[in-house]
Structures are given as C-alpha cells and as structure tokens.
Structure 1
Amino acid sequence: MTYVMGFVAAVPTANKQAYKDFAESSVEYFRRLGVTRMLEAWGDDVPRGDVTDFYRAVAAEDGEAIVYSFQTYPDAAKAAEANEKMMNDPEMAAMDMPFDGARMIYGGFETIAEASGEGRAGYVEGSIIAVPETARAAYADYAEKLGKLFIAHGAARSVDAWGVDVPDGKRTDFRRAVAAKPGEAVVFGWIEWPSKATRDTAWAAMMDDPLLQEESAGADEGRRVFGGFVPLLDR
C-alpha cells in the first residue's frame, strides 16, 4: 500500500526561489532513502476559513505563502526505515531550510483511495479533513466515488490517505489544523489537474452532481482545509 508523508509549511514569499532551489537540491537525497515521488506546490488559491484554513494550520505570518507537499514510499516499512536514517544523519541536520521548520506540520498516511486519468499535475488541489475513526471504510468508498467523478471531468489523479502516524506538535500539527476531536483521524488528500483552467471548468460542471450533495461518511466538511497550488517540483 502506497505510503504518503504529507507536509504543509509557511514560507516567506521572498524565499520562493530559495525554497524551490532547496527542494531541487534534496531530491537525490530522498531518492536514496526510497522516496518514489516528491511534489512541492506553492499556494495560489488558498482561502481563509471561518473555523480552519491552511494559514491557521501553520500559524502563517504576514508575507508568507503556504506550501503543500508530499513524498510517497512503496509502503510504511520503507518510510519508517527512511525516517530512522534521517533522524541520525548529519547530512539531514545540515540542510538549511528557507522557512520556519518549527511551524511545518507533517505526518504519515496510508492511501485508501486513488484514481488516475491522463496528464501530469499542472495544478494541485490539496486538502485535509478530520474523519471519525470508525468511518474509515465508508470514507474510502466515498473518496473512490469522488475520484472517479474528478477523473471523468479531466483530473489527472485523485488520492486520499488515512493518517496513521500523525504526531502532536508543540505549536502546530495536523490534528489542530482540522480541529480534530477525540476519535477522529486526519485524511490528507489531493487532486491533480492538468491546469488551473481545467480545475475551474470541472468544478463549474460538478457543482450540481448528486454525489457532492452526499454526506462525507460522517466527516465535518465545515472543518475541511483546502486550497489550490502550483507545482514547484514534481519528481
């Protein structure tokens, strides 16, 4: 089962190129650890919410943009092995990150729904949501249906992954990002579109689809955190 390490960070807008350079320079390092894909995407259409949003999720400050990113591994065992190596690796400790890593949120997720179409990620819609732990199977079924709908309207890929190793942070973390309650898990998901225009056209056509009127297997959509991002790196 594909394992996803998901990340959200606040990066000074002035450091956009520095962040891209940092990501590019780290690709080979993570490849050696077993990462099969890295995607780094810069906030483009990231709305503010009444209860939750990406800005609150990482305690973003004025002049900072949201970066949504993930790394995929073949399975959880490979990810755990990589993490163990990183924890004791001077090369990792020496990496100079052009943002405040203390506010970055991260976690490990198991893929529960995935649908693939054609094309590459020219635009990414990322989201996180709290789902009752008892509703894993029901949410996976709902996400599978949604994924097929997105693909039918031009998406290149749709993925939803269930939080299995989502640590608590001192100031920010995924659970606080979605105001998770006891008995809820965090789901990290994204939709890849060939372009932002394709995304906009698709959503205009999908808004009246009955599937979007269904309840999300007990998940509180009012606490979903979401936004649109432009890929900086996809390897």
Structure 2
Amino acid sequence: MTYVEGFVCAVPSANKEAYRQHAADAAPLFKAFGVRRHFEAWGDDVPDGKVTDFKGSVQAKPDETVVFAWFEYPDKATRDAANEKMMSDPRMKTMGESMPFDGQRMIYGGFDSFIDESTGGRGAYVDGFVAPVPEGNKQAYRDMASKAAAKFKECGAVRVVEAWGDDVPDGKVTDFKRSVKAEPGENVVFSWIEWPDKETRDAGWKAMMEDPDMQPDKDKMPFDGMRMFWGGFRPVLDTAAETVPSREPA
C-alpha cells in the first residue's frame, strides 16, 4: 500500500502565499525524486485541545497557522531512495535557506498505510489526525478505523487513509511522539479524511455524530482519544489534482 511521509508545521499567517509558492516551486523536484502525490493544506478549523492539539504539536505562535501535509510514495524503498537524493541535491539546500517558516518546529516521519479507502474522487477539504496507539493494539485500531472509514464514505468522504508509524524520528525541538505525549510501547498514527468540500464535511460529521453505531465505547477504545488531535484544512497545493489551488483568500 501507499507509503506516506507526513508533515506538520507552523507558518506565519502573513506568509500564506509565500508558503504556497515555495511548495509549488518545490513540487516538480519532489516528483522527480519519486513523490507520487504532494499535498499541502492550510489550517481552517483547528481547535484547541485539552491535552494535545495541532497548534501545540508545532509550538504555533498566535500569528501562525498550522499546515498539514504529506508525500505519497508507492512503497518505502522509493521513499528511502528519494530521501537520499534530497539529502545530496544542492537545490534542496537552497530551498531550505528560503523557507517562509521555522523548519526547526516542523514535525515529520514515515508512515506505512494500512487503510486506504477511496471512492476515486479528489478532496477539496481535509480532516487531519494524529494519535498515539499501543503497539499491541494495532489490529484492534485497524478494525475500528476500517469500520469508521466505511461510514465516512457513506457520509460523503472521498478517501480515508490511516498510516502506522514506521520511521518517526525524535526531534530536537518538536516531533510526532512528543506531539501526542506518546508513552513507552506506543506508536503514532498519521491519518486523514478527504471530502469534496467543507459543506459535505460538516454534514458528514453531523451524520457520524448522530449515528448510534459510531458512538465510542470508552472502555473498548484501542487508544487514548484524549491525546489524539485533529483539525480541518483547505488545500493550497495538490499535485494529483487537475488544477492546483492558488491565491486562496487568507
């Protein structure tokens, strides 16, 4: 299945267009390295959490917006080869020197997808999630997520992806493990739901919340939902789309 490189970063809100242009300029190079799909999405509905949240994961400042992004590869071998090329290509150094955000607070990692349910459509609105899951509960989490994915598609979602942490490094300032306060024996799951638009997403979540089959049983949850965080994002770049969003309203 798809191998995912997931990213979360904090970008000064005033730098939205500069960030979009930076990503668009880099996209052809990443494609040449082997990235099958490059997706970048700007925070739109990113709530504050009681224990964890997207903003805290990257130490976002009041004047910054969270970006949720990913690369898709056909397999891990292609991803590993791409990373080697990126490390040795002088163009990447030039891009790094001109980043319109603080790269020290970006979190990233490699994730192996174990659920990838699609209707064939492309998302114009995305819900992103990051969660800590005990290693021993991988199958239980997968069973729960698979049931939910089917329901999300019934409610209008065009794609649901759940990816299991495979190469999630420790960071000097921030990282995925710290973002969900992962405990020993826990892994990190990076996942998203693609919707055709925000209106469908809002209606879909309302239907999910009202569905008696989707009411969580806290005693049987295979992970600590209090440490999971999520948010809604609008794409600013999607190399798989026929047209790349540009110059969206701030």
**TM-score bin, normalised by smaller chain:** over 0.9
Partner of 1:81: 81
Please state how far the C-alpha of 1:212 moved relative to its aligned partner: 3.6
Residue number in structure 2 paired with 1:5: 5
Residue in 1 that maps onto 2:125: 123
User: Quick one: distance in 2 between partners of 1:93 and 1:212?
Assistant: 48
Match of 1:104 in 2: 106
After TM superposition, give the deviation of residue 145 of structure 1 in Å.
1.1
Q: How does 1:138-177 map to 2 (within 5 A)?
A: 138-177=140-179
C-alpha separation in 2, matches of 1:18 and 1:234: 16
Q: What's the secondary structure of 2:181's corresponding residue?
A: coil
**1:43, 1:131 → 2: CA distance?**
24
Structure 1 ranges of 4+ moved more than 2 A: 214-217
Structure 2: segments with no counterpart, 5+ residues: 240-250
Q: Is 2:190 the counterpart of 1:220? A: no
Partner of residue 214, structure 2: 211
2:144 & 2:33 partners in 1: Cα distance?
33
CA distance in 2, matches of 1:89, 1:136: 37
Which string of whole-angstrom CA distances, capped at 9 and with x for unpartnered residues, describes residues 175-233 of structure 1? 01011000000000000001111011111111132234245752111111100000001
Moved more, 207-216 or 10-19: 207-216
2:201 maps to: 199
- Matched residue, 2:40: 40
CA contact (8 A) 2:208 2:214 kept: no
Q: Deviations over 1:66-109 (max 9, x none)?
A: 00000000001110111111112211111021100010000000
Matched residue, 2:235: 231
Percent sequence identity is 53
Tell me if structure 1 keeps the 8 A contact 2:54–2:229.
yes
Give the letter for the 1:232 counterpart.
Answer: V
**Equivalent pair of 2:46/2:230 in contact (CA under 8 Å):** yes
Return the alpha-carbon distance in structure 1 between the equivalents of residues 62 and 217 of structure 2: 37
TM-score by length of 1: 0.97
Contact 1:114–1:144 (Cα < 8 Å) also in 2:
no
- Unaligned 5+ runs, structure 1: none
* Cα contact 1:117–1:154 (8 A) shared by 2: no
Alignment map for 1:173-192 (pairs within 5 Å):
173-192=175-194
Alpha-carbon offset, residue 118 of structure 1: 4.8
What SS does the corresponding residue of 2:204 show, helix, strand or coil?
helix
Matched-pair contact (CA < 8 Å) for 2:58–2:107: yes
2: CA distance between counterparts of 1:212 and 1:155?
19
Once the two structures are superposed, what CA deviation does each residue of 1:102-147 show, in whole Å capped at 9, x if it has no partner? 1000000000111112532111000100000011122112111111
Structure 1 distance, partners of 2:6, 2:136, is 22
